[in-house]
Structure 1
Amino acid sequence: MSADTLQHHLVQPYKSVANKASEEYKRNYEEWQPIVAELHERLEEATAEGKEKHIKLHKKRGQLLARERIDLLLDEDSPFLELCQLAGYGQDDMTLGGSIVGGIGLVCGIECMVIASVPTLAGGSMNETSVLKGGRLAQIIHENGLPVINLTQSGGANLEQQFKVFHRGGGGFRNQAILSKSGVPSCCVVFGSSTAGGAYTPGMSDCVIMVKKQAQVFLGGPPLVQMATGEVTDAESLGGADMHSRISGVSDQLAVDELDAIRKAREWVSHLNWTKVGQLPKRHLLSNFEEPLYPADDILGVASANIRVPFDAMEVIARLVDGSRFTAFKPLYGVNLITGWAFIHGIPVGIIANNNVLFTAESNKATQFIQLCNMKHTPLVFLQNITGFMVGKRYEEDGIIKAGARFINAVSNSTVPAITIMMGASYGAGNYAMCGRSYNPSHTLSDSYSPGQTPSAPSWVPNNLQGTTELTVGKFFRAGIEIDEEVASTRKQMFQSLVESESDVYYTSARMLDDGIIDPRDTRTVLGFCLSVVYNKEVKGGNLYGVSRM
């Protein structure tokens, strides 16, 4: 009997209790419609590549747009998991996406990180958002051992943001050096002028391809050279593709045009002799897995669109995992936390999902489960919808701090890959325990929530109501001063308004506190792709034990 057949017999599918005819289901589904519509509008906005006049001028020169270059580089019908696409959103001094497009796709069947300058947005120059985004992309490359292809045409640093760019930006070149040392292959295709800091990206790549009569790479252009040294030269002689291919040796391949350059990049990938270090299960490689019994569209009916209304995470899990089959761990203990094993696109996973506030039992359960997943070398998927740990005299006496510390210790020291999906609230230490951004999951993604509903992104207070009360009433209480209800109410409203605006999912995503916002219905597809990516390195558990209070 095959493993798949055995699982089919032993693990019964979860029986959904969702009633599509119920008022709750209909209300949820209806409330989600404008939310996902707004998300797709903003993502569409993020694909824009600048003003029409700049795009026309670029095309008049016979050059392809950044996203056209990516499309031609990727395999036909390849998925492309774009990352941090809303970086810089709503920030007046930043370009949307940081003037770069970054994501993971297939090139000659190999998962590669592709990073493209957007030369029609501020000349492809780098601002603070570009640097932060580039740093996150480099982290993902390093942690997942992904080959990287840079499609470069950049004016270097935005001189109006020198202080914000210079110091952090230098770390980008250090990242390239570290990646090269670790054996991660890199290729840079230079399509146009790449100046100053933009010149070091090709300079530190394993392979450099330059487009003839288009690519120009130099530390300082002709005007700067003349001003600094008195030397008079033209751009082509100073740093043209032909010169770098024949004289300096900075270029390894001279392409006759952009299409030839992209072909050469694909040829480079084909010769990498690249294989994943981690061994993916055969059922994934052969696509020999079941689809969930329930359609992904149901998620909009079973998950509440209102952050303050709870929903059963098991109903979401049943629409994410293969065959809707889920083996629960300790289902009768610590019932506010769902833990258990399943397969997603044929890949085994351990799932930790919130159904309510965390108590001591939930913390103990999670700690043991994370240990078991490390022993079994099984990646973890965290589904966050958490208001935090329970507070109160009884729970403090019960040792909730110790239990929470053990939970956080386990998350911190776990060595199997973790993917975090923020599908609801994410407050206080609950965010930490559920592998929030600061706990370095392989990927952090937010499901779309509407502004004003405290979306699925980290909050820096336990929750809006608790934090507001602490700041507006707590200090009067501690000082023994009678509370002025009118003043307290005004302060509370002001603070709550600030917290809600800074907790909005677009606010946090614009500042890269996640790797992107996804339509909830795409969660299974995105998880499957991310799980495949993490197997570029060995998936191996480790010892979780630091010092824990017993």
Structure 2
Amino acid sequence: MRFISQLDKDSDCYRRNRADMLALVDQLRALEARPMALSEERRARMEARGQITPRDRLARLLDPGLPFVQLHSLAGYMVDSADPETSVPGASVIIGIGFVSGVRTVVVVDDSGIKAGAMTEMTAAAFLSAQEVALKQRLPFLHLVESAGANLMEYRVELWAHGGKLFRNLARLSAAGIPNIAVLHGPSTAGGAYMPGLADYVVGVRKNGMAALAGAALVHAATGERANDRDLGGSEMHAQTSGLVEYLAEDDAHGIEIARQVVAALDWNKSLPERPAPADIAPPLDPEDLAGLVPVDYRVPYDMRELAARVVDGGVFQDFKPRYGVSTVCLQAAIQGIAVGIIGNNGPIDPDGATKAAQFIQLCGQSDTPLIFLNNTTGYMVGTAYEQAGMIKHGAKMIQAVTSVDVPRITLYVGASFGAGNYGMSGYAYEPDFLFAWPNATTGVMGGEQAAGTMAMVARAGAARKGQDLDEARLAKQSAMIAAHFDQQSDAFYTSGRCLDHGVIDPRDTRRVLAFCLHTCREARARRVKPGSYGVARF
């Protein structure tokens, strides 16, 4: 059926919601602009070396006019620096999925304009996430390399320990039959030398490309040998002597063109069935409404069907069991011609809602229908009546169904996503194929207000048990501190900075992003790869 919207765009509520949401979108864009501006400061120096900037490399690599979905644009925000006014997101790397010679490809670009592309803990986290996407979605992995290696000024042993996974994953990709390609634009030393070392195809750029386990300074300090970087690891040496480089490029632009030719030669889409172009039946309700439909305050209710009607084809969906477990919404619909099951929340999840969702998830598994989870819940219901109604066992059914279902899962945090409700709604720990957040999203074990209230009750009960008077002023101060602590950590920008999602998106881009992810998952399931016992070794 086609949903009949009840949204009043002339209301004060709509105008307030829209102003609040657009302010958050502006904040998102301002944060994303910080690494661009910082990297751009080194343009003149890079051009003096005959190089082009990291973002210009990316633009030359991608097919013009085709979509590119950036991942982890906020990685490192409020991690590498705790000051929200100066913290630079991006973790010195640009990551996304785009089209290279007509092939959907995971692309990682070292942002050498920021601290020479040195790697932090969150760089590693974002990089690992990109590798997992490439492995799961059977996409070529293409890395434009120019990095000073680990950022020793911010070194922690965890970075070294987790860093080994980057190399392991390159070997896993190759062994799984998924090609990984590196373009050596500049220095890649120490552990970074294994980025091209473990790639299947390496393009080295003359004069600037360099890979070595140790640069000249470290070699002299460690062994006393006086060497120069070009003899140690220049692209020319690797192309002629060591065999590390397969293709020698004259400059950055030439190197990128060679990489595009390598991808084209893979004929990576040969096993995909021919499909007619999807009929893009746009929703009749304007997606622009999404900025005013959803309240920034998750405690203010709205109907999740209003959101779905502005995302799905034609605004048409079939409502599954609408009178049962009414706070849990289950819909059958399509996005760009791909059938989907949508599960959303109109509040906390009660026993009936959990049972309904579990059945719906299993039905989608039976019909091999992708699932989309629209999170806006404070969790599973609590209280005597709900416990006696079997909340634990019914919630467990839903979590088991989410864990076991073998269909693509795409999760959006569009409001609250707290406690075990996050788990039942395919949150981060359940490894959905893609996970994005709206800028108003708030996630965690519970909200700040609830956490502060819980701790206050614990303090009062403890004082009463001991027969002591409670210092109300001190308790109020403690409650405010607890609420602020929880609320800061549940903020979408904060959690995205820790790579607990694939990125924060403008709500108005929801249909576009969902369609891109659905087509990516569909291709992955149709594509045949030829795994081997080992990754391709260089001899």
**What letter matches 2:72 in structure 1?**
C
User: 1:17: Cα distance to partner?
Assistant: 1.6
User: 1:277: Cα distance to partner?
Assistant: 6.4
* Paired residue secondary structure (1:535): helix
**In 2, Cα distance between equivalents of 1:97 and 1:236:** 30
1:252-296 per-residue CA deviation (whole Å, 9 max, x = no partner) reads 00111111111110000111121286769x4xx413231001111
CA contact (8 A) 1:46 1:86 kept: no
Aligned match of 2:149: 156
Aligned CA distance change for structure 1 residues 299 and 444 (closer, same or farther; 3 Å): same
Aligned CA distance change for structure 1 residues 96 and 486 (closer, same or farther; 3 Å): closer
Which of 481, 489, 495 aligns to 1:494? It is 481
Which of 242, 245, 250 aligns to 1:256? It is 250
**In 1, Cα distance between equivalents of 2:10 and 2:216:** 70
Which of 361, 370, 378 aligns to 1:387? It is 378
Aligned match of 2:411: 420
Which of 39, 52, 75 aligns to 1:64? It is 52
Aligned CA distance change for structure 1 residues 96 and 472 (closer, same or farther; 3 Å): same
**What letter matches 2:69 in structure 1?**
L
CA contact (8 A) 2:76 2:91 kept: yes
Aligned match of 1:87: 75
- Is 1:466 the counterpart of 2:460 in the alignment? no
Aligned match of 2:533: none
User: 1:467: Cα distance to partner?
Assistant: 2.3
Aligned CA distance change for structure 1 residues 249 and 215 (closer, same or farther; 3 Å): same
* Paired residue secondary structure (2:208): coil
**What letter matches 1:102 in structure 2?**
I
- Is 1:270 the counterpart of 2:258 in the alignment? no
1:182-214 per-residue CA deviation (whole Å, 9 max, x = no partner) reads 111111000111111111000000100001111
User: 1:231: Cα distance to partner?
Assistant: 2.6
Moved more, 304-313 or 324-333: 304-313
CA contact (8 A) 2:443 2:492 kept: no
**In 1, Cα distance between equivalents of 2:458 and 2:272:** 52
**What letter matches 1:490 in structure 2?**
K
Aligned match of 2:24: 35
Aligned CA distance change for structure 1 residues 128 and 319 (closer, same or farther; 3 Å): same
Which of 98, 102, 122 aligns to 1:105? It is 98
**In 1, Cα distance between equivalents of 2:250 and 2:526:** 42
Runs of 4+ in 1 over 4 A off after TM superposition: 92-95, 276-280
**In 2, Cα distance between equivalents of 1:307 and 1:371:** 29
Aligned CA distance change for structure 1 residues 216 and 95 (closer, same or farther; 3 Å): farther
Aligned CA distance change for structure 1 residues 526 and 62 (closer, same or farther; 3 Å): same
- Is 1:171 the counterpart of 2:149 in the alignment? no
User: 1:139: Cα distance to partner?
Assistant: 1.4
**In 2, Cα distance between equivalents of 1:459 and 1:41:** 25
Moved more, 432-441 or 491-500: 491-500
Report the number of matched residues: 518
Aligned match of 1:529: 516
1:326-362 per-residue CA deviation (whole Å, 9 max, x = no partner) reads 0111111111011021111111111000011111000
CA contact (8 A) 1:199 1:218 kept: yes
**In 1, Cα distance between equivalents of 2:161 and 2:118:** 16
Moved more, 529-538 or 347-356: 529-538
Structure 2 matches for 1:362-511, cutoff 5 A?
362-449=353-440, 456-461=441-446, 463-477=447-461, 480-481=465-466, 484=470, 485-511=472-498
**What letter matches 1:409 in structure 2?**
Q
User: 1:466: Cα distance to partner?
Assistant: 2.8
Aligned match of 1:124: 117
CA contact (8 A) 2:5 2:306 kept: yes
* Paired residue secondary structure (2:144): strand
Structure 2 matches for 1:182-197, cutoff 5 A?
182-197=176-191
1:478-527 per-residue CA deviation (whole Å, 9 max, x = no partner) reads 67356724443232112111111111211111111111111100011011
* Paired residue secondary structure (1:538): helix
**What letter matches 2:461 in structure 1?**
F
Moved more, 25-34 or 152-161: 25-34
**In 2, Cα distance between equivalents of 1:153 and 1:31:** 40
Name the TM-score, length of structure 2 as normaliser. 0.92
**In 2, Cα distance between equivalents of 1:68 and 1:457:** 34
Aligned match of 2:211: 217
- Is 1:233 the counterpart of 2:227 in the alignment? yes
1:105-155 per-residue CA deviation (whole Å, 9 max, x = no partner) reads 001111100101111111111111111111111111111111011000111
**In 2, Cα distance between equivalents of 1:276 and 1:372:** 31
User: 1:162: Cα distance to partner?
Assistant: 4.8
Aligned CA distance change for structure 1 residues 528 and 145 (closer, same or farther; 3 Å): same
* Paired residue secondary structure (1:190): strand
**In 1, Cα distance between equivalents of 2:407 and 2:466:** 51
Aligned match of 2:534: none
**In 2, Cα distance between equivalents of 1:147 and 1:199:** 20
Structure 1, unaligned stretches of length 5 or more?
A: 1-11, 450-455, 541-550
User: 1:35: Cα distance to partner?
Assistant: 2.1
CA contact (8 A) 2:105 2:142 kept: yes
**What letter matches 2:180 in structure 1?**
S
**What letter matches 1:47 in structure 2?**
M
CA contact (8 A) 2:341 2:371 kept: yes
**What letter matches 1:15 in structure 2?**
I
**In 2, Cα distance between equivalents of 1:248 and 1:427:** 53
**In 2, Cα distance between equivalents of 1:83 and 1:407:** 28
Aligned match of 1:44: 33
Aligned match of 1:360: 351
Q: Quick one: higher RCO (CA 8 Å, sep 6+), 1 or 2?
A: 2
Aligned CA distance change for structure 1 residues 31 and 74 (closer, same or farther; 3 Å): same
**What letter matches 1:293 in structure 2?**
P
Aligned CA distance change for structure 1 residues 226 and 32 (closer, same or farther; 3 Å): closer
* Paired residue secondary structure (1:370): helix
Which of 334, 337, 344 aligns to 2:325? It is 334
**In 2, Cα distance between equivalents of 1:116 and 1:416:** 30
Moved more, 68-77 or 303-312: 303-312
**What letter matches 1:304 in structure 2?**
P
**In 2, Cα distance between equivalents of 1:536 and 1:49:** 36
**In 1, Cα distance between equivalents of 2:118 and 2:10:** 53
1:291-327 per-residue CA deviation (whole Å, 9 max, x = no partner) reads 0011111112221122221111100100000000101
User: 1:539: Cα distance to partner?
Assistant: 7.5
* Paired residue secondary structure (2:525): coil
**In 2, Cα distance between equivalents of 1:276 and 1:336:** 45
Aligned match of 1:516: 503
**In 1, Cα distance between equivalents of 2:166 and 2:497:** 20
Name the TM-score, length of structure 1 as normaliser. 0.90
CA contact (8 A) 1:353 1:382 kept: yes
**In 1, Cα distance between equivalents of 2:22 and 2:340:** 30
Aligned match of 1:146: 139
CA contact (8 A) 1:95 1:121 kept: no
Structure 2 matches for 1:285-304, cutoff 5 A?
285-304=276-295
**In 1, Cα distance between equivalents of 2:270 and 2:353:** 36
* Paired residue secondary structure (1:31): helix
* Paired residue secondary structure (2:296): coil
**In 1, Cα distance between equivalents of 2:59 and 2:109:** 11
